[in-house]
Amino acid sequence: MKGIITIAGYGTRFLPASKVVPKEMFPLVDMPLMQYHVESLLAAGIHDIIVVARVGCEVVQQYFSPSSDLERHLEQSGKLDMLDRVQRLSTLANFAFVRQSESLPYGNASPALAARPWLTPGEPFYYMFGDDIVLADVPVPVQLVDAFRRHQPTAVLATQYIPEEETHLYGCIELKPGSANQLARIVEKPPQGSAPSNMIQIGHFVLTPEVFDVLDESMLGQGGELWLADAIDRLAARSAVIAQSIEGEWMPAGDPLRFLKANIALSLKRDELRAGLDQYLRSLVL
Could you tell me if 154 and 144 are in contact, meaning their C-beta atoms sit under 8 angstroms apart? no
Instruction: Give, in order, the Cα–Cα distances in Å from 16 to each of 20, 34, 55.
Output: 8, 19, 16
CA-wise closest residue to 156 among 126, 129, 134, 186: 126
Residues 6 or more apart from 34 whose CB is under 8 A from it?
A: 5, 7, 24, 25, 60, 63, 130
The confidence score (pLDDT) of residue 210 equals 93
Q: List phi, psi (to 5°) of 190.
A: -65, 150
Q: Where are the beta strands (DSSP E) in 54-196?
A: 94-99, 125-129, 132-135, 155-161, 171-175, 183-188
The confidence score (pLDDT) of residue 272 equals 93
CA-to-CA distance for 22 and 57, rounded, in angstroms? Answer: 6
Residues written for the chain: 286
CA-to-CA distance for 47 and 41, rounded, in angstroms? Answer: 7
Residue by residue, pLDDT tens for the chain (286 residues) are 999 999 867 778 888 888 888 888 888 898 998 999 999 999 999 999 999 987 666 888 899 999 999 999 999 999 999 999 999 998 999 999 998 777 777 788 889 999 999 999 999 999 998 888 888 889 999 999 999 999 999 999 999 998 888 888 888 899 999 888 999 988 888 888 888 899 999 989 999 999 998 888 866 666 567 888 889 999 998 889 999 999 988 887 778 888 898 899 889 989 999 999 999 999 998 6
The confidence score (pLDDT) of residue 70 equals 93
Could you tell me if 132 and 202 are in contact, meaning their C-beta atoms sit under 8 angstroms apart? yes
The confidence score (pLDDT) of residue 211 equals 92
Q: List phi, psi (to 5°) of 198.
A: -105, 25
- Angle separating helix axes 68-76 and 80-89, nearest 10 degrees: 160
Could you tell me if 223 and 176 are in contact, meaning their C-beta atoms sit under 8 angstroms apart? no
CA-to-CA distance for 14 and 30, rounded, in angstroms? Answer: 19
DSSP letter, residue 192:
T
CA-to-CA distance for 36 and 220, rounded, in angstroms? Answer: 31
Name the residue type at position 69: D
The confidence score (pLDDT) of residue 178 equals 86
Instruction: Give me Rg for the CA atoms of the chain.
Output: 20
Q: List phi, psi (to 5°) of 165.
A: -70, -5
CA-wise closest residue to 118 among 100, 131, 139, 145: 100
Answering whether pTM is above 0.85, one says yes
| Record: fold of 2-252 | Spore Coat Polysaccharide Biosynthesis Protein SpsA; Chain A (3.90.550)
CA-to-CA distance for 251 and 158, rounded, in angstroms? Answer: 13
